[in-house]
């Protein structure tokens, strides 16, 4: 038993253990920092070797020959793949983007009613894309349609035409085409 006033001495072995533990901890921390730094550098190097590149699908596509579309119809042939309807009337062609102008759902073409109807909140659009019911604030957007050199319809989804901005009258928003032309 220790007497009062006597200095408290730890057993020699125990003191050494404390010292060793402290050193080990410092060494461990040091090595941890080194390996952590190496891991970060390696990750940066791998990222450099394999950069994140966005491969966007091309915005243009060929949609077949005009004769493949009957006058007075709306074709859903490219709706699934390209989100575009191709419509033909007596004067020619236009291409509509299959994206509701309310919150972006995909409307359905109802041939029997000659209208597009959005399943999300019930917006309705006429055959030409103009809105007439539901919460959609504006007509569907048109995308550029033209004739390619080989005579096929060429659609460019990147070029949009908005009716409320007076763009439906611009070249590309409508492709004049008559039966038997070219």
Under the binding rule (CB under 6 A), the answer on residue 96 touching ligand FES is no
- Number of other residues whose CB lies within 10 A of the CB of residue 17: 12
Size of the site for ligand FES (CB under 6 A): 13
Q: How far is the CB of 137 from ligand FES (least distance, A)?
A: 10
Question: Tokens 């032309």, residue?
Answer: 181
Q: How far is the CB of 121 from ligand FES (least distance, A)?
A: 3
Binds ligand FES by CB under 6 A, chosen from 76, 120, 146, 159: 120
- Number of other residues whose CB lies within 10 A of the CB of residue 25: 10
Under the binding rule (CB under 6 A), the answer on residue 97 touching ligand FES is no
Under the binding rule (CB under 6 A), the answer on residue 118 touching ligand FES is yes
| Cα angle, residue 54 at apex, residues 50 and 59 outer, rounded to 5° | 150
Span interacting with ligand FES, options 29-37, 88-96, 128-136, 160-168, rule CB under 6 A: 128-136
Under the binding rule (CB under 6 A), the answer on residue 99 touching ligand FES is no
Under the binding rule (CB under 6 A), the answer on residue 133 touching ligand FES is no
Q: What is the DSSP string of 54-85?
A: --PPPSEEE---GGGS-TTEEE-TTHHHHSEE
Under the binding rule (CB under 6 A), the answer on residue 116 touching ligand FES is no
Q: 37 — phi, psi (to 5°)?
A: -60, -40
Binds ligand FES by CB under 6 A, chosen from 19, 26, 40, 103: 103
- Nearest CB to ligand FES, comparing residues 140 and 154: 140
Q: 155 — phi, psi (to 5°)?
A: -115, 135
Residue 155, beta-bridge partner list: 61, 145
Q: How far is the CB of 139 from ligand FES (least distance, A)?
A: 13
* DSSP annotation of 174: B
Nearest to 34 by CA among 46, 42, 23: 42
What is the contact surface with ligand FES in residues (CB under 6 A)?
A: 100, 102-105, 118, 120-123, 134-136
């Amino acid at each position: 038993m220790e007497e009062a006033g006597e200095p408290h001495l730890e057993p020699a072995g125990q003191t050494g253990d404390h010292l060793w533990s402290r050193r080990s901890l410092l060494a461990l921390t040091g090595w941890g920092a080194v390996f952590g730094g190496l891991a970060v550098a390696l990750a940066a190097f791998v990222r450099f070797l394999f950069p994140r590149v966005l491969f966007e699908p091309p915005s243009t596509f060929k949609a077949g020959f005009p004769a493949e579309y009957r006058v007075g119809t709306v074709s859903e042939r490219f709706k699934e793949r390209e989100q575009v309807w191709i419509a033909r009337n007596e004067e020619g062609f236009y291409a509509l983007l299959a994206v509701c102008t309310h919150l972006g759902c995909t409307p359905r073409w109802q041939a029997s009613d000659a209208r597009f109807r959005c399943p999300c909140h019930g917006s309705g659009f006429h055959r030409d894309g103009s809105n007439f019911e539901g919460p959609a604030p504006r007509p569907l957007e048109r995308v550029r349609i033209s004739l390619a050199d080989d005579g096929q319809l060429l659609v460019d989804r990147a070029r949009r035409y908005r009716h409320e901005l007076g763009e439906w009258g611009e070249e590309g928003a409508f492709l004049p085409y008559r039966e038997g032309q070219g």
